[in-house]
Structure 1
Amino acid sequence: VRPLNQEMGGSKQSCGSGNCCLSPSSDPPPPPCLWQVYGTVMTINQGNPAVQEVLVDSWPEFKVVLTQPCREVMWHWMTDFYTNTYTVYYRDLHAYGPLLASVGAVNWGQTFCIHGNMCPKASGRAPQQLNIYVLSGPNPRIPPYNASPEALSVRLSSLDVSHVDLLNEMKYLATLIHDLPSVCLLDAAGHPVSWIASYPFGATGPGYTLPQHRRRGYMGMLNNLIAKRLHALGYPSYSYVAVENNPMQRLQERQGFQPQCAWHDSSNP
């Protein structure tokens, strides 16, 4: 840990593949309001493929935890909404605001998104409200998924570098394919027709099915599989869904996920 701002007394976990000293314990996962930060710290401790760092308002006693892309990443991808992802958890709004405004924290001149339990007044941005869907308990049972007959004509696989061009056309990051769990369905020619990846903060998604292959149950199958894969790695079992996305909300609930709380997603610009 090194100083972030001497006036604030803040601290920052440096970039790299070393373990973060805010390491999650082996105890049951924390409440959902902590899961974005918790999942990011888990990813950092598994090699830090998304090149993130952790900031706190003070150390070792802290009231705010903010994860962000390392400086060399955030300055290289100034307009990349997906790479410039922050997560936050705070217990004290009065400590959160100064941390956001401190030098070396948020780069307000770039495109970015902050996930967490933020208050709109703290960030000064109008948030989008999202619903978190979770499987409750320290060891949730993810029910099996029965494939439809149409699913037998496709092949289960994982996304790889050969799929990057297609996925980037749909505004997905190559990082999510290279370094984080994903599953997909391939047609007879080996092209992905439906896929779902995972975020550096441990949530399931993003997912997509080509229009001509929809209404065949593909996304339900993949959502089930990626949840099992993330849970096997020790991540909390959760996803987030826009409040207006009723089909995905119904899919989550059919698979045992329950709406837990609102998640405020602030973006810039």
Structure 2
Amino acid sequence: MALERNLRISVLCYKYYISCENILIFKVYGCLFNMNRGKPHNFDVIADSWPDFRVIICKQKAQRSLDREGDFNIYNIYSKDKESLKKMLSVPSVINWNTFTLLAGVDINHLDAVKELCIFHNVRGETEGIVYLLLLEDASHLKDPECIAECNIVPLTADHAELVNSNWKYGRNAMSYNSVKNYITNFPSWCVLDKSGKPVSWILMYQHGAMGLLYTVPEHRRKGYAKLLISIMAKHLLEQGYPVYCFVDEGNEASYRLFTSMGFRHKPDYHTVWFQINEKL
């Protein structure tokens, strides 16, 4: 029944996805896309009503698990309006207001509803980050992989997890290492190898389907590796039927320019917020 329900929700999410009715649907759709293909996950999927849902939440089944997702108690959220989100989060079984929770992907226009609930429950809430959701709208700007013929481009392996984790801004600990290893083992990834066979640039995909962890070691920058890897990953995801999108921090102008130069766009009136409830112990 759970799989059948997730498939039905996924179909409706896909309709929003292809019509671009609401760009926020991509994160939830990405979660469901992977879940329905048997990819490892730690999510329960909750919709406020059916079939005319206004809120969908992909929440963690288990907290304090051995990866960053479970450790962070991350909720992936899609909401059509502020009042529906507030009503959904007010249901006792949906969220525990006494523990650390990271609401990932709250529409900034709906954030007041979350803040009002924090005041009602007398808990601390703060914005961890505001980001753009960039969607690939014009694939003609992607680079031809043959343009840098001398590059040795291969998928990452689990042996590379420590290297990736040590250079991830949200990494450098055991929990994040487990997440990186999970991404590499179960989802698409690509890297450029140097002559010694060591990755010098790489890109991965999160379990919610967004491209991320893009990084090039400093001494190998300005060689076009990032654009090449984005192009290869984007084309691969398009062939597999994934939505092709990423998140870029509001103040990260370099990454914003990089992705927009390659055909990625965002809605000017839309920002998504990572909002933290309670302090992380």
Q: TM-score, normalised on structure 2?
A: 0.76
Cα-Cα RMSD: 3.0
Aligned residue identity for 2:194: D
CA contact 2:102–2:275 (8 Å) conserved in 1: yes
Which runs of 5 or more residues in structure 2 are unaligned? Answer: 116-124
Aligned residue identity for 1:157: V
Answering whether residue 272 of structure 2 is matched by residue 264 of structure 1, we say yes
The count of residues paired between Structure 1 and Structure 2 equals 250
CA pair 19-131 structure 1, distance change in 2 beyond 3 A: closer
Aligned residue identity for 2:132: N
Alignment correspondent of 2:121: none
Alignment correspondent of 1:212: 219
Answering whether residue 276 of structure 2 is matched by residue 240 of structure 1, we say no
Alignment correspondent of 2:94: 105
* Mean CA deviation greater in 49-58 or 82-91: 82-91
Mapped to 2, the partners of 1:113 and 1:181 lie a distance apart of 25
Which runs of 5 or more residues in structure 1 are unaligned? Answer: 2-13
Mapped to 1, the partners of 2:190 and 2:96 lie a distance apart of 33
1:141 to partner: Cα distance = 3.0
Answering whether residue 80 of structure 2 is matched by residue 95 of structure 1, we say no
Mapped to 2, the partners of 1:133 and 1:240 lie a distance apart of 6
Aligned residue identity for 1:117: D
Answering whether residue 53 of structure 2 is matched by residue 62 of structure 1, we say yes
Alignment correspondent of 2:114: 123
Mapped to 2, the partners of 1:156 and 1:143 lie a distance apart of 20
Alignment of structure 1 residues 132-147 onto 2, 5 Å:
132-136=133-137, 140-145=138-143
1:196 to partner: Cα distance = 0.7
Aligned residue identity for 2:94: A
Mapped to 2, the partners of 1:93 and 1:56 lie a distance apart of 15
Aligned residue identity for 2:130: Q
Q: TM-score, normalised on structure 1?
A: 0.79
Could you tell me which of 37, 53, 56 is aligned with 2:44? 53
Q: Secondary structure at the match of 1:133?
A: strand
Aligned residue identity for 1:250: R
Report the structure, 1 or 2, having the larger helix content. 2
CA pair 234-42 structure 1, distance change in 2 beyond 3 A: same
Q: Of the two structures, which has the highest relative contact order with CA contacts closer than 8 Å and spacing of 6 or more?
A: 2
Could you tell me which of 161, 170, 193 is aligned with 1:164? 161
Identity of aligned residues (%): 27
CA contact 2:156–2:190 (8 Å) conserved in 1: yes
CA contact 1:50–1:175 (8 Å) conserved in 2: no
